[in-house]
Amino acid sequence: MPQFIVRQSLIIGFTAGAFVLGFDLGATAAMLASAAAVWIAMIGQMMVLNRRLAGHIEPGPKAYDFRGWLAISLPILMVEGFYLLLSYTDVLVLQQFRSF
Amino acid sequence: MVVIDAQSATAPPAGVIARLRAMLGGSAEASVTTRLAGTIFIIRVISAALAYVSQILLARWIGGSDYGVYVYVWTWVLLLGSMMDFGISASAQKIIPEYRTGGEHALLRGFLSGSRWMTFVVSAAASALLAGVVKSLSPWIDANAVLPLYIGCITLPAFVVANTQDGIARSHDWMRLG
C-alpha cells in the first residue's frame, strides 16, 4: 500500500484509539501518533521494497556515484523546492498572525 | 499519440467492457501505461478521501487551536521533508533506468542502498540541527507548539527515507509501494 494511505490510516487509527480510551487529545498526542505512523509506514515499505529488490537484482559489489546523483538531483530540487515554498508559505506565515 | 489516435479512429465500435478490457488487460506498452495511470488515479482518490475525513475527525477530536498547531508542524515536516532528499526521489526515475539499461549493476546496487542511507544520514543530522534551532528560538515560539515541533523533528528522517523509497518503487513501476 502506498505511503499516503498507510500513513493516514495509521494516524486516524492511533488517534481514534486514544480518543476511545478516553485520553485528552492535543497537538502533542496527534504529532506522536503521526511520528509513529510515519516510522511504521517507512519501515514496512522498506521491508517490502528490499524483498522485491532482492528478486530484481542479484547481490554483488556496490559502487557509489554521489557526485553524479547530486548533479542530476539538485536542479530538480530547485524546481521542487520553489513549488513547495509557494504552496506552503501561506500556512507558515499565517501562524505569525494568529491571535492567541 | 499519433498511433493511438489513428487506432481508435479506425477501430470498429466495440462494447464498453471489451474496450475497457483491451485498455487494461493487454501487455502492450499503451495498456501497461493506462493500467499504471489507473492505479495511481485510484490511489490518489482514496488518499484524498482519507485526508479529507482525517482532517474533520482530527479537528473535532483535538480542538481548533491544537489542530492549528498540528497543521503548522505538519506543514514544516512536508516542506522540509520533501526538500531534504535533494530531489533524489524524482531523479531516481532517471538514474535507475539509466544504470539498468547501461548494465551498470554495481552502480545500480550502490544507488538502491546508498540513496536511502545518504538521505537518512543527512536528514537525521538536519533534524538534530533543527531541534537545536527550535530550542534556541523557543522563547519566541508559541509554547504549545514547541513540543510538537520537536516531535516533527523526530518524524523527519523517516519521512525523507519514505520519500526516497517512493522514488525507487516508482522507478520499478511498483505504484502500490510508492
Contacts of A16 in chain B (CB under 8 A): 57, 61
The cell for A91 is: 500556512
CA distances from A36 to A15, A30, B144, B155, B168 (A): 11, 10, 20, 8, 23
User: Cα–Cα distance between B62 and B115 in angstroms, integer?
Assistant: 37
Q: Is B103 left (phi over 0), alpha (psi -120 to 50) or beta?
A: left
Instruction: Record the pTM.
Output: 0.83
Q: Does the beta-carbon distance from B155 to A35 stay under 8 Å?
A: yes
| pLDDT above 50 for B50 | yes
User: Distance, in angstroms, between B3 CA and closest chain A CA?
Assistant: 31
| pLDDT above 90 for B159 | yes
User: Cα–Cα distance between B80 and A62 in angstroms, integer?
Assistant: 29
Task: Report the percentage of chain B scoring pLDDT > 90.
Answer: 31
Q: Using DSSP, how many helices (H) and how many strands (E) does chain B show?
A: 7, 0
Contacts of A3 in chain B (CB under 8 A): 162, 166, 178
| pLDDT above 50 for B9 | no
Residues 6+ apart with CB under 8 A from B35: B24
Chain A residue nearest residue B69, CA to CA? A27
Contacts of B112 in chain A (CB under 8 A): 53, 57
Q: What is the pLDDT of residues B117-129, one digit of tens each?
A: 999 999 999 999 9
Q: Does the beta-carbon distance from A56 to B165 stay under 8 Å?
A: no
> Confidence band (pLDDT; 50, 70, 90) for A92?
confident
Q: What is the pLDDT of residues B93-102, one digit of tens each?
A: 889 998 888 8
The cell for B51 is: 485526508
User: Cα–Cα distance between B123 and A56 in angstroms, integer?
Assistant: 28
Q: Does the beta-carbon distance from B158 to A39 stay under 8 Å?
A: yes
